[in-house]
């Protein structure tokens, strides 16, 4: 970048020293023309302070700005020192309004009980101090912008203010002008300075020249310095911008990313600073290289002074925003200044200018002034109203600007509508005074200009740009929704007028939708192109709530309702004026009735699903029926040209269309029609579509002769002739023409009639309350199956307030079942409600219906009831709809019923269907219920006119002349082919009987009616036969299922993940309680040393899972292997900060006690022949290669890294462990040398070997050779005890441990190979010991088999793996290990580490396992391996004792135990005394032996336990009974099992002379002092187990934390995806460019990068905004896991979509923790990816 000439930085510094804001202010006070003076000051200083290119430190710029530019303003305003003056301005009393402006991602709370609408929200502080905390609330995260409504009385029905914002004195608030509280001088100066500054800011922000400045601001000397300014647009992608910048201004990728990020955030960013030409060059390149595909990026070359002034203008606006927070008076003054009309009159105030230029400004500028508007005008009660008026006046213009603009709405001033329109009093004021409702609707309609010849919207011709515009214009509907969200409590005459005006405008809008997107049935050819349908449905969906709200408003005022109804009627008659024209009139007759209509066939002519005008009318009509006007219908409201026939015509066509689609008649019209039909019934649309069509049919039918209604329905269903001509049906059947199609149509039509008569749960149609409707919806959902809260919510329509009413009724119909550790809470229907089940519930889909039917029949069978599902008792109809019931007994319907019943008499006619019959039976039952109900309510006093029961005894007329309906039913009752319907027919006949008796009785005396809902007695015998038959069928079905099951077995685990998981857990649980496999033995069980027992010549027979052959495990036999997964782990790490060392140079021989990174091995326990496994693995490899050629991408496992899935359980594996035979019994013939003898001999041997090795590598020996003990063959080569096959497998696993553990490429020559094998053995053992300890499980016998097998084979493998490595290497390791404890004479190993830096268990394992390499050379026959093991244990234990004493005794509370000192305590004290002798005052003075011993005992216990595990598995020694439980005596049992005295101090005491010098040597290592003085990592024992971090109980605390979290890389930016590491509690900025880093050559996101430092490649995170747990393994694998947070309904809320308060479920969190501690994360990811292939495609590494 070029360095332009400019003032040296020192110039500014000099200014700094001499500048006095006070003096400047005094000058201003004294001057004549303030504006001129201020401008002169700004002209001089603004470019100097803010025009420094990119070079000046931000901090200093900020200081200069404060001192030289802002401070004078404050001095002037206050007439003195601001620090003193400002606080004085604060007026007494708390702030009345909170007004906190939300940051992106900050939690907001809304009370579902008290908020006026869902946009009323509180900030967290206010919420916690409010009454709503104890109400039902909803929590969401803010998208940024908007403010806290605390203190706004209109926003809350109750509790408008929190404790912090309760106004001290309410009267003052409303009465007094706050300006009068200011000192008059301040008031005057505020007016003048506010006007100047605001004017200045507005001028600059709306300034359009690039090279000029407003008058008075021109600098004295113009410098040739410019910025090349890049502006944001929503067209170019991040990548395009970054690429272009790198090219145009030749910056690094990183700088380009930072530029692009800022441009995206602030809307503009200078990308180059320099002279004019230099900047023009860059501009040219940017424009050229982005103009190819689209319009070019916007770039301007701007003079630096102009940019500086614009920057300052923003700072000045922020300053104004801050200063007015001090006083309501100042705020009021600023408001007055802002809204004061300018010189050009209307629309020329400063605020108007800002708003009208909004779409021209860049994002950053918009944000700043929007924020100022929120802090000023919107916080002042009086001016909010005035501002609202300005906003409404400019509304149309602002909206058109916004629609042309390409920025998101949140960056547009139009977004402020939510702050204004949601205040009901303002909204109503604007409606009355500014005609807001009409303005919004008109603006909206104006924007959608594309119409067809009839003036209807036409979306299918939209270009991409128009579609985009359509997307933006929808926000207007949102504004309309705000305005209408709460109906007025009372109406003024003006409001009525304006609302009706708005309503009329709305009808105009609906008329443009009526009949849009018409469809015509496609015959012959399939349609060529799917027609556009989504736009129309989007519109419908968006308007749904508006339409409902309009009706709500109407319903609150009778006058408005009647007027609206009239307007709607006239709109509809205009729409339908041409409907019957040109159609051919016809006359239909059936069952003795005749009706006139016209010919129209849905299947041949145009039909549209969009009928909003009709539907609105239906809604209004139903509302009218609830008022007392209803009784005067239709006299007072003549239908005009609209006969009932016309009213039902269009809705009926639409319903027939649905039926025909169901019947498959519209297949050739493609998916668009299917989708439309789907949405028509969908919960999001049905309220204002399907439901209203049904309502309209009810309206029509209630006004018509029922026979006429039915005939028209028949005719529109194109079924009239099927029922009118006797033999037509038969002829039709014989012709076999689309019979199935016609059957479906008949079914659909019968269903429609059931609904028209039966659906009475809309208030106004039936006599019900609104909640009854909700209850019925819930009930029918729960009749399908128990459901979770969220499922129920989804099935119910939401109102404009996002409420369903669910919570208000759910407890009355359902009981809640809590969730377990998996799954979710469920609601179950209370049994007493199942009698309200209606099989033909209108909102059931066909699938729902059959599921519900099955569930209900099953329930009834379980209760021992018959399986008839008769209709429930319906609520009574409202008077205007009362005549609907006559449909049930109309002659036409009886004829239909008779016809179907007659067809049903023929068993296999094919001319009828079960569904058809079922529906007819249902209709008959409904009629009988109606008659019974009427009889009951009449009480015998009146004559009941509903005489269905007598009508069905009449013989039928045409077409079925056979017999009466009743007779037909009786004949069908015993028909064998109607077995399924038998119960229902029986029910009907019983009912007929009951009614007959009642009628007879009531004719005599009025006795109460018997409630024969169900026949009291059923034919039991027949039932039994029936059950038997069904049982037989069930058996057959079971068998079939079983067969399928075995077919599916292969994929069983995948598909039943959870079940599988459960059964595994059960198995593990069972293992805990089952008696231990090893036989309990006496207390003298010992696992190590010459006296150890067990081991054995036991034969071990295993079966290969691949070839099913049995095989004995032998060293020389065929190799057998165990599938295993090996991974690096930091689960036990006490130090995550230790950087990963260069793997090539890392020396793993000494494990640090902080266990920072370990290698863990797990196995599913499945055994294979090595050869079988190889074949399997090769096949997997080949398959993978072929697959990769076809489609790129990963599998859940990485074959190249040796990963595969266990062929049996599909568990993720990456290696195999060879199975080796058990250890032999100890050689009891050899004597057991004492520690001293053994140590002497061993050090001699070691020294001799060491010297030989050195000689071999360096040639000549420099020193005298140490004596070689006799019988020790330095050059002896022992025989390998394993066959080549077994040896090869030993190699395989060693290499995997090496490769994974060090993250290096395989290298068989590397001396570290055996170390890694031992390491994974030791680490795995340690991690399992911790788990057992923390879960309080016994040390032995509680592990699941697979873990037991894994540990056993892992240990036996490690004790043999030295045979695969060069013996010299292993010997060298042993010598180095030994030298930590003992001085190996003459050896030149100077680098022995400090013993405090060595984990003693690892040392024990390594030295025991490497000792064999030394022992194999000893042919003296005088010592056994076993005694060596015991002595090594002895030595290491003493070393560990000392380690514990040195590190872990300080800091314990000093609490002395009274009473006598025990032997242990005395000896501990003694040893501690000796250590203090060696180390002096490094060690604290602890005199209490009791305390010391307690520390030692606790500190050493984990070591002893892991040692016991180790020797148990190595020597196959059965554990003593005490260790199989957790009872007392554990310590003693443990010591004795390890062959140690239970007073461990005796180990030291009995060999003092030998050990004393060793201890001295350990303590003298320079590292010891260093560690103890805090120079290294001090690890205390026992090491505390790692847990996942503590999470807060309330999820919103996390959200709040995350909202204040800023990206650590991009200077204070809010992070978009804050993600919490559950292991260390670190918050990360995930999934974003800013925080990508390079790890091993790949760019990875913050999470992946973090896993490499924190979890050795494994990570567990909580994505806070999504409420989702993320597991990551390596770079390519990951999965999401349910979070441990549940709402009160026992459900998680991924994505925080529902917003119910979430609370921590500790059981679930423990489950996650256990997964992690068991090293199960990688496996969970593997299973998840296997089950869901889409997970594989996610780019995990960028998270
Ligand atoms: Zn607040
Ligand atoms: Zn508050
Ligand atoms: Zn509340
Ligand atoms: Zn096999
Ligand atoms: Zn397996
Ligand atoms: Zn972490
Ligand atoms: Zn970041």
Apex CA 1135: angle with CA 1129 and CA 1141, to 5°? Answer: 70
Burial per residue of 1525-1542, b for 16 or more beta-carbon CB atoms within 10 angstroms, e otherwise: beeeebeebbbbbbbbee
d(CA 1303, CA 1126): 12
Task: Quote the ligand 5 centre to 1213 CA distance (angstroms).
Answer: 8
d(CA 1269, CA 724): 119
**Pair 50, 61: CB distance under 8 Å:** yes
Task: Quote the ligand 2 centre to 161 CA distance (angstroms).
Answer: 6
Q: Which ligand is nearest to the CA of 156?
A: 3
Task: Quote the ligand 5 centre to 1185 CA distance (angstroms).
Answer: 23
Q: Which ligand is nearest to the CA of 1110?
A: 4
* HSE of 1633, CA atoms in CB hemisphere, 13 A: 15
107 membership: H or E segment, kind and range: strand 104-111
Q: Please report where in the chains the tokens 């429930």 appear, as a residue.
A: 872
pLDDT of residue 1188: 64
Apex CA 1279: angle with CA 1278 and CA 1282, to 5°? Answer: 135
Task: Quote the ligand 4 centre to 1172 CA distance (angstroms).
Answer: 5
Near ion ligand 4, which residues have CB within 5 Å?
A: 1104, 1106-1107, 1169, 1172
What phi, psi does 780 have (nearest 5°)? -75, -30
d(CA 959, CA 1162): 78
As a whole-number percent, the residues of the chain with pLDDT over 90 amount to 39
Q: Which ligand is nearest to the CA of 155?
A: 3
143 membership: H or E segment, kind and range: strand 137-143
> Residue 281: CB partners within 8 Å, gap ≥ 6?
none
* Cα–Cα distance list, 1428 to 507, 550, 1236, 1279, 1544 (Å): 98, 92, 11, 21, 19
d(CA 175, CA 270): 50
Taking 90 as the threshold, does the pLDDT of residue 1321 lie above it? Answer: yes
pLDDT of residue 1012: 40
* pLDDT bucket at 1451, cuts 50 / 70 / 90: low
Q: Token digits for 90?
A: 């604060």
Closest CA to 443 of 453, 432, 434: 434
Where is pLDDT greater, at 925 or 1022?
925
* pLDDT bucket at 1019, cuts 50 / 70 / 90: very low
Q: Which ligand is nearest to the CA of 1105?
A: 4
What phi, psi does 1681 have (nearest 5°)? -135, 145
Q: What is residue 1174's three-state secondary structure?
A: helix
Q: Which ligand is nearest to the CA of 1216?
A: 5
Q: Please report where in the chains the tokens 């006095």 appear, as a residue.
A: 20
Closest CA to 412 of 421, 423, 399: 399
> Residue 430: CB partners within 8 Å, gap ≥ 6?
388, 389, 392, 420, 421, 436, 483
Q: Which ligand is nearest to the CA of 1610?
A: 7
Average pLDDT over residues 744-750: 94
Task: Quote the ligand 1 centre to 100 CA distance (angstroms).
Answer: 5
- 342 forms beta bridges with 345
Task: Quote the ligand 6 centre to 1619 CA distance (angstroms).
Answer: 10
Of the listed ranges 76-80, 120-124, 1055-1059, 1389-1393, the least confidently predicted one is 1055-1059
Q: Token digits for 219?
A: 């600098």
Task: Quote the ligand 2 centre to 100 CA distance (angstroms).
Answer: 9
**Exposed/middle/buried for residue 592 (C-beta within 10 Å: 0-12, 13-18, 19+):** exposed
d(CA 51, CA 304): 6
Q: Which ligand is nearest to the CA of 137?
A: 3
pLDDT of residue 1178: 92
Task: Quote the ligand 3 centre to 136 CA distance (angstroms).
Answer: 7
Rounded (10°) angle between helices 493-513 and 436-447: 10
Taking 90 as the threshold, does the pLDDT of residue 1139 lie above it? Answer: no
**Pair 881, 765: CB distance under 8 Å:** yes
Residues in the chain: 1743
Apex CA 530: angle with CA 529 and CA 534, to 5°? Answer: 145
Taking 90 as the threshold, does the pLDDT of residue 875 lie above it? Answer: yes
Q: Which ligand is nearest to the CA of 1106?
A: 4
88 membership: H or E segment, kind and range: helix 82-89
* pLDDT bucket at 1075, cuts 50 / 70 / 90: very low
Of the listed ranges 401-405, 569-573, 1060-1064, the least confidently predicted one is 1060-1064
Residue-wise pLDDT tens digits, 1589-1631: 999 999 988 988 888 888 887 766 677 789 999 999 999 988 8
Average pLDDT over residues 772-782: 95
**Exposed/middle/buried for residue 1602 (C-beta within 10 Å: 0-12, 13-18, 19+):** buried
pLDDT of residue 899: 87
Taking 70 as the threshold, does the pLDDT of residue 465 lie above it? Answer: yes
Q: Which ligand is nearest to the CA of 1122?
A: 5
What phi, psi does 137 have (nearest 5°)? -120, 170
- In this structure, how many other beta carbons lie within 10 angstroms of the beta carbon of residue 1678? 27
Q: Which ligand is nearest to the CA of 1137?
A: 6
Task: Quote the ligand 3 centre to 540 CA distance (angstroms).
Answer: 32
Task: Quote the ligand 5 centre to 1160 CA distance (angstroms).
Answer: 17
Q: What is residue 15's three-state secondary structure?
A: helix
Start-end of H helices in 1075-1219: 1170-1190
* pLDDT bucket at 755, cuts 50 / 70 / 90: very high
Task: Quote the ligand 3 centre to 845 CA distance (angstroms).
Answer: 37
* Cα–Cα distance list, 985 to 903, 933, 951, 975 (Å): 16, 20, 17, 11
pLDDT of residue 1262: 56
Taking 80 as the threshold, does the pLDDT of residue 638 lie above it? Answer: no
Task: Quote the ligand 4 centre to 1105 CA distance (angstroms).
Answer: 7
Task: Quote the ligand 7 centre to 233 CA distance (angstroms).
Answer: 22
Residue-wise pLDDT tens digits, 115-128: 988 889 999 889 98
Cis amide linkage into residue 959, ω under 30° from 0: yes
Largest CA distance in the chain: 135
Burial per residue of 1045-1069, b for 16 or more beta-carbon CB atoms within 10 angstroms, e otherwise: eeeeeeeebeeebeebeeeeeeeee
Residue-wise pLDDT tens digits, 1484-1503: 777 778 888 888 899 999 99
Task: Quote the ligand 5 centre to 1055 CA distance (angstroms).
Answer: 17
> Read out DSSP for 396-448?
HHHHHHHHHS-S-GGGSGGGGHHHHHTSHHHHHHHHHHH-HHHHHHHHHHHH-
Q: Which ligand is nearest to the CA of 1103?
A: 4
> Read out DSSP for 720-774?
HHHHHSTTHHHHHHHHT-SHHHHHHHHHHHHHHHHHHHH---SBTTBS--HHHHH
Q: Token digits for 1557?
A: 């010098």
Helix, strand and coil content of the chain, in percent to the nearest 5, comes to: 55, 10, 35
pTM: 0.80
* Cα–Cα distance list, 1351 to 1165, 1173, 1217, 1361, 1509 (Å): 10, 20, 10, 15, 9
- 1167 forms beta bridges with 1122
d(CA 591, CA 894): 9
Residue-wise pLDDT tens digits, 712-721: 999 999 888 8
d(CA 158, CA 1417): 90
Q: Which ligand is nearest to the CA of 1625?
A: 6
Residue-wise pLDDT tens digits, 131-189: 998 898 888 888 777 889 998 888 898 989 998 887 665 544 455 778 888 888 889 99
777 membership: H or E segment, kind and range: helix 770-784
Task: Quote the ligand 4 centre to 1112 CA distance (angstroms).
Answer: 12
**Exposed/middle/buried for residue 1175 (C-beta within 10 Å: 0-12, 13-18, 19+):** middle
**Exposed/middle/buried for residue 533 (C-beta within 10 Å: 0-12, 13-18, 19+):** buried
Q: Which ligand is nearest to the CA of 1176?
A: 4
Q: Which ligand is nearest to the CA of 1107?
A: 4
* pLDDT bucket at 57, cuts 50 / 70 / 90: low
Q: Which ligand is nearest to the CA of 159?
A: 3
Task: Quote the ligand 6 centre to 1205 CA distance (angstroms).
Answer: 28
d(CA 1461, CA 1457): 9
**Exposed/middle/buried for residue 316 (C-beta within 10 Å: 0-12, 13-18, 19+):** buried
Average pLDDT over residues 1156-1161: 92
Q: Which ligand is nearest to the CA of 1121?
A: 4
Task: Quote the ligand 6 centre to 254 CA distance (angstroms).
Answer: 25
Closest CA to 543 of 624, 451, 610: 610
> Residue 1010: CB partners within 8 Å, gap ≥ 6?
994, 997, 998
Task: Quote the ligand 1 centre to 89 CA distance (angstroms).
Answer: 22
Q: Please report where in the chains the tokens 């430190």 appear, as a residue.
A: 57
Q: Please report where in the chains the tokens 């010592």 appear, as a residue.
A: 1423
Task: Quote the ligand 2 centre to 99 CA distance (angstroms).
Answer: 8
Q: Which ligand is nearest to the CA of 1628?
A: 7
**Pair 694, 756: CB distance under 8 Å:** yes
**Pair 363, 411: CB distance under 8 Å:** yes
Task: Quote the ligand 3 centre to 137 CA distance (angstroms).
Answer: 7
Query: N- to C-terminal Cα distance for the chain?
Result: 33
Of the listed ranges 191-205, 894-908, 1696-1710, the least confidently predicted one is 894-908
**Pair 540, 689: CB distance under 8 Å:** yes
Task: Quote the ligand 3 centre to 129 CA distance (angstroms).
Answer: 12
> Residue 815: CB partners within 8 Å, gap ≥ 6?
827, 828, 830
d(CA 1127, CA 1319): 12
> Residue 937: CB partners within 8 Å, gap ≥ 6?
none
Residue-wise pLDDT tens digits, 1461-1476: 788 888 888 888 888 8
């Amino acid at each position: 970048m070029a360095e332009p000439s400019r003032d040296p930085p020192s110039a500014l510094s000099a200014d700094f020293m001499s500048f006095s804001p006070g003096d400047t202010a005094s000058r201003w006070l004294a001057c004549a023309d303030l504006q001129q003076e201020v401008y002169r000051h700004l002209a001089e200083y603004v470019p100097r302070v803010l025009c420094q290119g990119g070079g000046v430190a931000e901090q200093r710029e900020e200081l200069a700005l404060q001192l030289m530019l802002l401070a004078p303003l404050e001095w002037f305003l206050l007439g003195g020192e601001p620090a003193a003056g400002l606080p004085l301005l604060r007026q007494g009393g708390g702030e009345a309004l909170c007004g906190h402006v939300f940051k992106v991602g900050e939690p907001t709370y809304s009370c579902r009980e008290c908020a006026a609408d869902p946009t009323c929200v509180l900030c967290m502080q206010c919420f916690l101090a409010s009454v709503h905390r104890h109400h039902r609330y909803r929590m969401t995260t803010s998208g940024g912008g908007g403010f806290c409504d605390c203190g706004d009385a209109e926003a809350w029905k109750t509790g408008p203010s929190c404790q912090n914002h309760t106004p001290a004195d309410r009267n003052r608030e409303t009465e007094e002008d706050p300006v009068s509280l200011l000192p008059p001088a301040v008031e005057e100066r505020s007016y003048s300075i506010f006007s100047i500054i605001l004017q200045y800011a507005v001028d600059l922000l709306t300034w359009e020249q690039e090279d000029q400045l407003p008058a008075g601001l021109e600098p004295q000397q113009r410098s040739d310095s410019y910025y090349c300014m890049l502006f944001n647009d929503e067209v170019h992608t991040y990548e395009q911008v970054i690429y272009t910048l790198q090219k145009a201004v030749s910056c690094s990728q990183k700088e380009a990313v930072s530029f692009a990020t800022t441009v995206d955030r602030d809307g503009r960013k200078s990308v180059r600073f320099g002279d004019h030409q230099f900047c023009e060059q860059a501009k040219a390149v940017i424009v050229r290289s982005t103009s190819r595909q689209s319009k070019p990026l916007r770039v301007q070359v701007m003079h630096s002074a102009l940019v500086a002034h614009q920057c300052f203008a923003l700072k000045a606006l922020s300053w104004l925003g801050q200063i007015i927070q001090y006083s309501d008076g100042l705020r009021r003054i600023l408001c007055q200044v802002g809204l004061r009309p300018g010189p050009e009159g209307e629309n020329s105030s400063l605020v108007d200018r800002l708003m009208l230029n909004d779409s021209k400004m860049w994002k950053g500028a918009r944000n700043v002034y929007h924020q100022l508007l929120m802090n000023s005008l919107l916080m002042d009660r009086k001016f909010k109203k005035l501002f609202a008026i300005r906003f409404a006046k400019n509304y149309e213009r602002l909206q058109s600007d916004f629609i042309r603009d390409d920025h998101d709405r949140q960056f547009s001033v139009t977004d402020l509508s939510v702050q204004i329109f949601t205040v009901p009093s303002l909204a109503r004021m604007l409606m009355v005074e500014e005609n807001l409702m009409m303005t919004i609707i008109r603006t909206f309609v104006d924007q959608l200009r594309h119409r067809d010849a009839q003036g209807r919207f036409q979306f299918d011709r939209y270009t991409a740009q128009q579609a985009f515009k359509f997307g933006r214009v929808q926000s207007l509907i949102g504004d309309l929704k705000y305005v209408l969200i709460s109906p007025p409590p009372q109406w003024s005459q003006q409001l009525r007028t304006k609302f009706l005006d708005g309503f009329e405008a709305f009808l105009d809008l609906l008329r443009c939708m009526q009949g849009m997107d018409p469809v015509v049935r496609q015959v012959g050819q399939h349609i060529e192109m799917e027609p556009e349908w989504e736009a129309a449905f989007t519109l419908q969906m968006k308007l749904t709530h508006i339409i409902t709200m309009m009706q709500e408003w109407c319903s609150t005022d009778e006058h408005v309702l009647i007027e609206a109804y009239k307007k709607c009627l006239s709109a509809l008659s205009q729409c339908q004026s041409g409907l019957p024209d040109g159609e051919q009139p016809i006359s239909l007759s059936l069952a003795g009735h005749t009706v006139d209509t016209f010919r129209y066939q849905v299947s041949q002519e145009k039909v549209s699903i969009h009928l909003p005008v009709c539907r609105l009318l239906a809604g209004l009509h139903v509302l009218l029926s609830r008022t007392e006007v209803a009784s005067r219908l239709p006299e007072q409201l003549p239908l005009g040209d609209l006969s009932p026939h016309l009213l039902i015509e269009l809705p009926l066509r639409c319903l027939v269309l649905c039926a025909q689609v169901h019947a498959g008649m519209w297949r050739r019209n493609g998916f668009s029609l299917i989708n439309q039909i789907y949405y028509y019934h969908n919960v999001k649309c049905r309220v204002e579509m399907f439901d209203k069509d049904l309502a309209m049919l009810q309206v029509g039918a209630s006004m018509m002769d029922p026979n006429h209604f039915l005939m028209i329905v028949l005719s529109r269903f194109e079924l009239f002739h099927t029922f009118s001509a006797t033999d037509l049906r038969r002829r039709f059947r014989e012709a076999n023409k689309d019979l199935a199609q016609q059957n479906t149509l008949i079914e659909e039509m019968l269903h429609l009639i059931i609904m028209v008569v039966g659906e009475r749960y809309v208030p106004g149609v039936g006599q019900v309350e609104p909640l009854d409707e909700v209850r019925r919806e819930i009930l029918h959902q729960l009749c399908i199956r128990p459901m979770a809260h969220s499922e129920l919510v989804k099935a119910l329509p939401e109102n404009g307030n996002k409420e369903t009413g669910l919570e208000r009724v759910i407890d009355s119909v359902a009981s809640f079942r809590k969730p377990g550790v998996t799954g979710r809470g469920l609601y179950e229907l209370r049994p007493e409600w199942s009698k309200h089940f209606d099989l033909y519930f209108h909102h059931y889909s066909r699938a729902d219906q059959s599921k519900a039917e099955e569930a209900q029949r099953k329930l009834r069978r379980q209760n021992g009831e018959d399986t008839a599902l008769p209709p429930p008792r319906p609520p009574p109809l409202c008077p205007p709809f009362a005549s609907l019931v006559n449909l049930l007994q109309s002659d036409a319907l009886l004829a239909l019923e008779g016809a179907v019943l007659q067809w049903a008499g023929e068993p296999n006619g094919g001319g009828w269907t079960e569904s058809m019959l079922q529906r007819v039976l249902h209709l008959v039952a409904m009629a009988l219920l109606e008659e019974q109900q009427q009889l009951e309510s009449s009480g015998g006093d009146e004559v009941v006119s509903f005489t269905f029961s007598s009508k069905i005894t009449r013989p039928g007329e045409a077409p079925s002349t056979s017999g009466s309906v009743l007779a037909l039913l009786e004949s069908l009752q015993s028909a064998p082919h109607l077995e399924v319907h038998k119960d229902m027919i029986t029910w009907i006949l019983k009912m007929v009987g009951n009614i007959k008796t009642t009628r007879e009785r009531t004719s005599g005396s009025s006795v109460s009616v018997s409630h024969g809902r169900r026949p009291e007695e059923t034919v039991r015998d027949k039932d039994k036969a029936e059950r038997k038959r069904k049982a037989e069928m069930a058996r057959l079905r079971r068998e079939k299922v079983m067969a399928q099951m075995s077919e599916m077995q292969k994929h069983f685990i995948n598909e039943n993940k959870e079940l599988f998981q459960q059964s595994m857990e059960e198995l593990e649980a069972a293992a805990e309680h089952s008696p231990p496999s090893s036989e309990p033995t006496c207390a003298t069980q010992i696992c190590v040393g010459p006296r150890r027992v067990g081991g054995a010549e036991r034969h071990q027979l295993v079966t290969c899972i691949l070839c099913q052959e049995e095989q004995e495990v032998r060293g020389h036999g065929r190799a057998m292997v165990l599938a295993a997964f090996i991974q690096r782990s930091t689960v036990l790490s006490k130090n995550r900060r230790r950087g990963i060392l260069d793997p090539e140079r890392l020396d793993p021989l000494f494990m640090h006690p902080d266990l920072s990174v370990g290698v863990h091995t797990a196995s599913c326990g499945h055994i294979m022949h090595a050869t079988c496994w190889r074949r399997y693995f090769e096949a997997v490899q080949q398959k993978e290669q072929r697959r990769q050629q076809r489609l790129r991408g990963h599998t859940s496992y990485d074959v190249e890294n040796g990963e595969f899935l266990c062929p049996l359980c599909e568990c993720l594996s990456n290696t195999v462990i060879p199975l080796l035979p058990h250890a032999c019994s100890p050689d009891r013939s050899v004597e057991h040398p004492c520690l001293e003898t053994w140590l002497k001999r061993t050090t001699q041997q070691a020294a001799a070997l060491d010297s030989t090795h050195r000689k071999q590598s360096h040639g000549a020996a420099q020193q005298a050779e140490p004596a070689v003990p006799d019988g020790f063959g330095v050059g002896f080569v022992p025989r390998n005890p394993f066959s080549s096959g077994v040896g090869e497998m030993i190699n395989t696993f060693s290499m995997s441990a090496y490769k994974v553990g060090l993250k290096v490429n395989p290298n068989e020559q590397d001396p570290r190979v055996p170390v890694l094998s031992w390491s994974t053995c030791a680490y795995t053992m340690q991690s399992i010991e911790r788990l057992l300890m923390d879960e309080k499980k016994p040390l032995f016998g509680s592990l699941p088999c697979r873990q037991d097998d894994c540990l056993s084979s892992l240990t036996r493998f490690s004790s043999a793996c030295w045979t695969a490595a060069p013996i010299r290497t292993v010997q060298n390791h042993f010598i180095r290990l030994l030298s930590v404890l003992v001085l190996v004479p003459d050896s030149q190993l100077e680098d022995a580490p400090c013993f405090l830096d060595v984990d003693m268990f690892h040392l024990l394992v390594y030295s025991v396992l490497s000792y064999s390499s030394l022992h194999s050379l000893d042919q003296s026959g005088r010592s056994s391996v076993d005694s060596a093991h015991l002595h090594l244990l002895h030595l290491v234990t003493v070393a560990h004792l000392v380690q514990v004493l040195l590190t872990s005794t300080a800091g314990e509370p000093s609490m002395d135990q009274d009473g006598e000192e025990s032997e242990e305590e005395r000896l501990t004290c003694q040893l501690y005394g000796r250590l203090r002798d060696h180390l002096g005052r490094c060690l604290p003075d602890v005199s209490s032996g009791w305390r010391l011993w307690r520390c030692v005992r606790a500190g050493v216990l984990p070591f002893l336990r892991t040692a016991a595990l180790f020797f148990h598995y190595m020597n196959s020694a059965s554990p003593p009974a005490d260790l199989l439980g957790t009872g007392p005596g554990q310590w003693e049992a443990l010591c004795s099992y390890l062959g140690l005295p239970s007073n461990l101090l005796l180990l030291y005491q009995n060999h003092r002379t030998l050990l004393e010098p060793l201890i001295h040597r350990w303590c003298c290592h320079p590292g010891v002092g260093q560690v103890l003085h805090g120079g290294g990592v001090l690890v205390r024992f026992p090491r505390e187990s790692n847990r996942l971090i503590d999470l807060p109980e309330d999820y919103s605390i996390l959200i709040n934390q995350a909202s204040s979290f800023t990206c650590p890389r991009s200077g204070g930016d809010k992070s978009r995806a804050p993600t919490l590491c559950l292991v260390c509690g670190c918050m990360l900025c995930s999934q974003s460019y800013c925080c990508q880093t390079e790890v091993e050559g790949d760019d990875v996101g913050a999470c992946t990068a973090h896993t490499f430092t924190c979890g050795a490649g494994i990570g567990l995170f909580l994505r806070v905004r999504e409420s989702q747990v993320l597991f990551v393994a390596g770079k390519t694998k990951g999965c999401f896991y349910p979070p441990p947070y549940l709402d009160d309904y026992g459900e998680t809320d991924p994505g925080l979509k529902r917003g119910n308060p979430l609370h921590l479920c500790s059981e679930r969190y423990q489950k996650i923790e256990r997964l992690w501690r068991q090293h199960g994360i990688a496996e969970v990811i593997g299973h998840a990816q296997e089950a869901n292939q889409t997970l594989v495609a996610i780019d995990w590494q960028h998270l």
